[in-house]
Every structure is written in C-alpha cells, then in structure tokens.
Amino acid sequence: MASFYPFGRLHYSDYVQGEYYVRDITGAVKLSGDETAKTIARYGKLNLAATALQTFATLASDEALRREFGCGFDAVNRTLEWGLDVLSQGLDSVRSSIEDLNASFGYNIGLVIAQLQVQNQQLLGVVERLDAIHKTLENPALTQAREFYRTGCERLERGLLDKALEAFHKSEEKNDTDYLTELQIGRLYLYGRDEDDNVVDLERARRHLLLAAKYGRAEVAFLPAAVASVAESHLHAAIACYLLAGEATLAGDKPESDKLLDESIRLALDAAKLRPKLGEAHYQAATGLALLARPDEAAASLEQAIAVDRRYSLNAADDPNFASMRDTVATLLERLRADALARSTELLAEKRREIDSLVYIGEKAQSVRRELETRLGKAEQMVARATLFDSQDAVRELDFSSVSGAQSASATHEPTTLTGHTEGVYPVAFSPDGCLLASGSDDDTIKLWDVRERRELATLKGHTDSAYSVVFSPDGRLLASGSRDKTVKLWDAHERRELTMLKGHTNAVNSVAFSPDGCLLASGSMDKTVKLWNVRGRCELTALTGHAEGVTSVAFSPDGCLLASGSFDHNVKLWDVRKRRELATLTGHTGWVHSVAFSPDGCLLASGSSDKTLKLWDVRERRVLTTLTGHAEGVGSVAFSPDGCLLASG
C-alpha cells in the first residue's frame, strides 16, 4: 500500500473517498486523484531525510527511469506515474493476476479493483474445475450458489460494485464454505470504491479474507492451482490487518495496533511462502516488520521483494513505513547496487574479451560484430552510470543470445596455441564438461589444460614411452591413457595423480575407451587383442582375440552393449560386451582401419582407412551402407556430430 500510510493523520475511508480510477467515454484510464504521481525531486510533502534523497539517486538514472516507465516518467517535473501502464495493458487480459501488479500494487486502490475485474475470467476457469471435482451440478443449493457467484462476477466486470457484493453474499448464503466467494467479498470490502459506489469495510474485509484463506487451503488437495488464490487471500488479509492497525493507532490503541501488525506480518509471510513470486507479499511483510522495529527481518523481506520486482527499491527509498530504519534500507539498497555493478562490470569485461577474440569472416559476420559492438557500447554507458537499474539493464544488454548469428560459425575464435610438450602430440580429448583438455605426447607425458584460461594445469608423468591415446570417463573424474610402453594408466583428473597401472598387453596400446556408464574400459593393442578392464576393481576382465594384426581403435556403442574395433588387418570387428565374444567381422576396406565411431543413436558405425575412404555400416544388419570418398590420403580419424547428422573425417 505504497501510496497510503495508515499511521499518519488520514483515515483509510477518507483516502479511498478521493483515490480511485475512472474510465472516460473512450475507455481510457484516468485517475480521480493525484497520489500516483511520485515526486522524485521535490520531496517537501514527504519530509524525507537527506539519506533518502541520496539513496534514490543511486537506484536509477533518468535514462533508466525512461527505459523502465516510458511516458510514465516526466523528466521535466521529475515525477513518476505508476500503475496505469500495467492496468491499461491488463484490462483485456483474462490471464491477469495480482502478481502482474507487484510494485504497482499500492499506487492506486483503483488499480486493484480493475485487476479484480479482469481476473474474473481466470477465476471462472477455476470455478469450472472445482465444480467438476465436487459435482456441484448434482446439488441444487450449490448450483444456485454458483449462479449467484457468476452474476456477481458479471456485475463486477460492469463496475457495479454494490450489486456485485449483493450477489456474492447470496452465493455465500447457499454455500458458506466456498473460498472464491469469500475472496470476492473480502476484496470488495477492502478496495470497493469507484465513482459510483463505496462498499469499503475493513473489519468485514479481514473476516471474509481469513475465511477465504481457510476454505482455500482445504481445496488445494483437490486442485493444486487453488494455491494462487489462497496466497492472494493471505495477502489481502494481511493488508486489511495493516490498515486496521493504522486505524487503531489513530484511535490511540497501540497494543491493538501492534497485535494487528503481528497478524499482518504472519499472513504476508504465509502468502510469500505459498507464492514466492508475489512481490507485494514480501513488501507487505517488510513494512509490518519495520513498524514493529524489527529492521533485520524487514530488510530480508524487502530484499526478496526487490528480487521479484526491482521497483520496490524505489518504493522503499521514501516509504514512511521505513522511516525508523532509513539507514538500514539505504545500506541494503547500496549493497544491491554494488553487487549489480560488480556483476555488470565483470560481464562487460568478459564480453569485450569475447568479441575481441573472434575472427569475423564475410559481410554477415561483420554485421554481427557491429551489432555486438553497439550492444557493448550501450552496456558501457549503463555501467558508467553505476546505478542499480542501469547495472541490471547492462547485464540484460550483454545477453547476446538474441543477436541473430552471434553464435554462428562465421565468427570463430582466434586459434590458441598451447605449448609445453617437448615432442610430437598424438591424442587429445576434452572432458565431458568441456573445461579440461588432455593431450598425450612422444615426450612420454600427458598434459591437462584449462580450456577457459588456455593454460597448462598439470603434467602427468608415469609412462615410459609415447602416450598414444587419452580419454575421459563419462563423469569426467578419471582419465585413461594408453602407451607404447604396453600399459594403460588410470589418472584422477581432479587431483591430477596416477591411480593405477593396468598391465597385460604385450605390445603398444593404441586406443582406450570408457563404456557409457564408466564401469568398463576397453583397450586396443598392437598385440592384436582388445582387453576389457573393470574400472572400479582395476583389473582385467577378458581379452578379445580375433584380429590378425594390431588393433588401432576401439569404441563403445551408446548403450554400452557393443564394442567396435579397427585393425591393421583391414577389418572392423563388432563384439558383444556382455557375453564377451565376437559378433561380426565387417570387411571391405583395402587398407588399415585407423578409426571407428558409433553414431549417437547407435544405428551406424563409421570407419576410416588408409585406403582413403570412409565406410558407413548398418550396425544391426552388419553390412556396409555406403563408401565415402574424397580424401587424397588415408583417413586417420572419424567423428559424428552430437545430433548424428554430420560426420567429420581427417
């Protein structure tokens, strides 16, 4: 209730007498009063402390206010008009809810009545579902109650507040446990004022809204969607208690006022718990806690409200409810501003590095760069203003996902050369999360690299000859390597240390591969065998024999049931992993088979050979589907794209 302070000298009944909305003959929204104009420079009538003025200046620049409120911000007169934009956009929306108002909620009571009108269609949808659940049409009294309820909704939509209230009461007489009826009655008693009618009665509002909350909780088990209306019932009941506390204060009854504020806080917190995105519930709790001199709790609730709708920070900067904790509010808002500024500054530098590290090839890519540079320039200006709103807007401006082509291959990163090995590098492999890169070398070492920072993290030593193959486990915790020294090693990729050495091969190990579940490791060797290892037990399970020459590559199918191997004998073999036996020999290549890879769905197998061709095999039928030509020399590597639509070969 940001535009009305019940602990001053004005009674709520006097306030609503002068503050409500009307529509002219064209249907345009107008205000009966001027309380929605929020002065942000001439604070005379609010008698704000200097700290509040300074706080407001750190929240939003004029540019940010224009972005936020559009024509609702008058830069000349330094005023804001809240709520009418929300109201005007929502009058015809059947999906409108109280959450759509949030920080605009309290800036004119008429906004709430208008919101009740547009919410009717939404509530009628809930009514239909409840009627189906409870078989309402089979009970004559409940059927009559529902007809009166619908009549009340129709009258409310036409702006006949007193007649709507009359119909809702008749519905209540027929069914006195219907939470939607109680909610409609309670809201009318709380906000029911327009140019023709005034049905406001705070005590009755409180009573009916508490009943709405009680009966609504009983319906949630049958209709989970009812929780939204239950949360709203708690919020409106909290507001009724807050306003009644103000009336008690004006009557000189402070104990009663404190009691009502306690109840208001409890109800508001209940609403926030049920509906975390209901910003007004968090804000309502904060105001009550502030009035009861519980500043730390008030600041916590206020921060949650601002997280839902940042406009609450503008409310709080001059809200008299927080007069006793103005410094606490200023400290909170300054922390939020500083955090937002730090985040936007860091992101700005990151995006600048990202743009500068790209190579833009072609006119389309150059167009992308120009747009990114424009976005970056706007963000730089926002960050320079250093307000809360500007910093948050800068983060949004730096989200390049909406820039068409920003992620396209026409803009590619400048190559980075990772140096450190002293001899030739054979295998490389990324970790599953893409954060690490492993490389094996003729210098007998394996290196781990930080991909983001593009630097060496560790050198893994232990092999006594060239490292021919490296692969990460599916969870990224382990790294396996095969070497010319006839061994396989398992490494802890996080702690960067050797875990075990697997011995058994009698010649160089050319290839290693983890099963999809990470439980098995396969290794292919020049000794013409494929070995399966138990990763957890770190022991050999079996040796698969059948190739006539050394094994060059091994690969598990995506489901882990099959293993493929390529060999210098020109053949590809398929193995049954569970039964540990050969299933088929795929023949057709006329040269060494250097590489094998399954498609992501496991239906296809690709193989690359020194005969300068690739072959695609039907795994189920175990036959060649096609032979791909085009390379002028042998094909040393093959890989499917993640969606299986592309095949790359080197």
- Least confident interval from 142-146, 356-360, 445-449: 356-360
Kindly report the backbone phi and psi dihedral angles of residue 565, in degrees, each rounded to the nearest multiple of 5, phi listed first: -140, 140
Radius of gyration of the chain (CA): 35
Q: Supply the pLDDT for residue 573.
A: 97
pLDDT computed for residue 469 by the predictor = 96
Q: What is the rounded CA–CA span in Å between residue 216 and residue 193?
A: 26
Q: Is the pLDDT of residue 634 over 50?
A: yes
pLDDT digits (tens, 9 = 90+) for 368-382: 788 889 999 999 999
Q: Which three-class secondary structure state does DSSP give residue 22?
A: strand
pLDDT in tens, 267-288: 999 999 999 999 989 999 999 9
pLDDT value of position 553: 97
Q: What is the mean pLDDT of the chain?
A: 84
The predicted model gives 167-179 an average pLDDT of 93
Signed CA dihedral, 281, 282, 288, 292: sign only:
positive
CA 381 from chain center: how many Å? Answer: 26
Cα 127 to Cα 99, 142, 147, 149, distances in angstroms: 20, 12, 11, 10
Which one of 20-34, 75-89, 308-322, 477-491 scores highest in mean pLDDT? 477-491
Contacts of 173 (CB under 8 A, 6+ apart): 145
Q: What is the mean pLDDT of residues 417-427?
A: 91
What pLDDT sits at residue 276? 93
Sequence-separated (6 or more) residues with CB below 8 Å from residue 79: 37, 38, 39, 40, 73
For residue 318, what pLDDT band results from cuts at 50, 70 and 90? Answer: confident
Question: Cβ-count burial of 453 within 10 angstroms (0-12 exposed, 13-18 middle, 19+ buried)?
Answer: exposed
Q: Please give the pLDDT value at position 422.
A: 93
Which of 431-435, 492-496, 504-508, 558-562 has the least mean pLDDT?
Answer: 431-435
The reported pLDDT for the residue numbered 27 is: 46
- Span 98-103, average pLDDT: 61
Strand-pair partners of 439: 428, 447
| Closest residue by Cα to residue 565 from 600, 603, 605 | 605
Instruction: State the angle between helix axes of 311-318 and 326-356 in degrees (0 to 180), rounded to the nearest 10.
Output: 150
Q: How many angstroms separate the CA atoms of 57 and 379, rounded?
A: 19
Q: Lowest-confidence range among 31-40, 260-269, 293-302, 330-339?
A: 31-40
What burial letters (b/e) apply to 306-328, b meaning 16+ CB within 10 Å?
bebbbbbbbbbbbbbbbbebbeb
Residue 496 has pLDDT above 90, yes or no: yes
Supply angle C-alpha 468, 473, 477, rounded to 5: 110
Of 529, 492, 491, 522, nearest in space to 508 by CA: 529
The answer to whether residues 391 and 341 touch, using CB atoms and an 8 Å cutoff, is: yes
Determine the 3-state secondary structure of 388 from DSSP.
helix
> What is the bridge-based pairing of β-strands 358-360 and 73-74?
unpaired
Tell me the mean pLDDT in the region 27-54.
43
Q: What is the pLDDT of residue 467?
A: 95
DSSP 8-state secondary structure symbol assigned to residue 325: G
Average pLDDT over residues 570-588: 96
User: What CA–CA distance (Å, rounded) separates 185 from 179?
Assistant: 10
**What's the confidence (pLDDT) of residue 125?**
63
Spatial CB neighbours of 37, under 8 Å, sequence gap ≥ 6: 79, 80, 81
Residues 6 or more apart whose Cβ sits within 8 Å of residue 350 = none
Tokens of 223: 């209709």
Answer whether residue 133 shows pLDDT above 70: no
Look at 19 and 308; give whichever has higher pLDDT: 308
The confidence score (pLDDT) of residue 603 equals: 93
User: pLDDT (tens digit, 9 = 90+) per residue, 286-314?
Assistant: 999 999 999 999 999 999 999 999 988 98
- pLDDT category, 470, cuts 50, 70, 90? very high
Alpha carbons 461 and 65: distance in angstroms, whole number: 60
Q: At what angle do helices 326-356 and 363-385 cross, to 10 degrees?
A: 160
The answer to whether 90 touches 100, Cβ cutoff 8 Å, is yes
pLDDT in tens, 219-255: 888 888 789 889 999 999 999 999 999 999 999 999 9
3-class secondary-structure state, position 518: coil
Provide the pairing of β-strand 79-81 with 37-39.
antiparallel
